[in-house]
Homo-oligomer: A and B are copies of this chain.
Amino acid sequence: MTSTSESRAIQLYFDFLCPYAWRGVELADVLRREHGLHFELRHFSLVQGNHPENPDRKAPQWWLTDQAAEGGSEAQQGSLAAFLAAQAAMRQGEEAGWRFALALLRARHQQKAELHRPDVLQQVAEAAGLELPTFQQDLQDDAGLRAALRQDLQDSAALGVFGTPTFQLPEGGAAYFRYANLVTDPAQALALWQLYTSVLSDDARIETIKRPR
């Protein structure tokens, strides 16, 4: 459920599997803590987006939320488990949601933690300072967590998200934003964000800037 004030937040779509999403969530965390910007953490699934049964990314036929917890590849199992755990963490409040998301992204991309292992998610929840009994209890509400995740997956599909991180501004512009070097310095973070939003707001309507690889 999105309140009126939250609907003016920048929507940040990310997948725990993606190293560029990790950079994006770190950037957003600096911007919200140091510069007062407001972001809402939303989930987009790369496994779903790249699934062969989903040639039209705006009209998925295969949904991660319809899959069994134990089914599919490790990436599929791990991303579903991570998303549901993150939904459970958010029930402990916005700050708890950020702490869990950042801790899990760091565990994944700095320590190569395996997302499909329940003990990893427990350790991250503990490190993020969640109330563990509440977290365990919330995880049991599988249907409720999947419904919340489904809303994110529906909204990202409607927007045409294809990769993460994708930021959607309150004014409506949105773009995938990939960069190589982690940015945590507050001044550098603000300058990078201003550059990104300048690209989105330019009158030329810039659609793509992409380096050859």
Show the binding face of A for B, using Cβ within 8 Å: 159-163, 166, 173-181, 183, 188, 191-192, 195-196, 198-200, 202-213
Per DSSP, chain A at the interface is mixed
CB-defined A-B contacts under 8 Å, sample of 27 = A159-B212, A162-B210, A166-B212, A173-B211, A174-B211, A174-B212, A176-B209, A177-B208, A178-B206, A178-B207, A179-B202, A179-B204, A179-B205, A179-B206, A180-B205, A180-B207, A181-B204, A188-B204, A191-B202, A195-B198, A195-B206, A199-B199, A199-B209, A206-B209, A207-B210, A207-B211, A208-B209
Whether A204 lies near B175 (C-beta < 8 A) is no
- CB within 8 Å for A160 and B212 given contacts A199-B195, A202-B192, A202-B195: yes
How many monomers of this chain does the complex have? Answer: 2
5 closest Cβ contacts across the A-B interface?
A160-B212, A180-B205, A179-B204, A178-B208, A179-B206
Which B residues are CB-close (under 8 A) to A210? Answer: 162-163, 175-176, 207-210
Whether A212 lies near B180 (C-beta < 8 A) is no
Given contacts A160-B212, A208-B209, 9 further A-B contacts (CB under 8 A): A162-B212, A177-B206, A179-B202, A179-B204, A179-B206, A180-B207, A195-B195, A200-B209, A208-B208
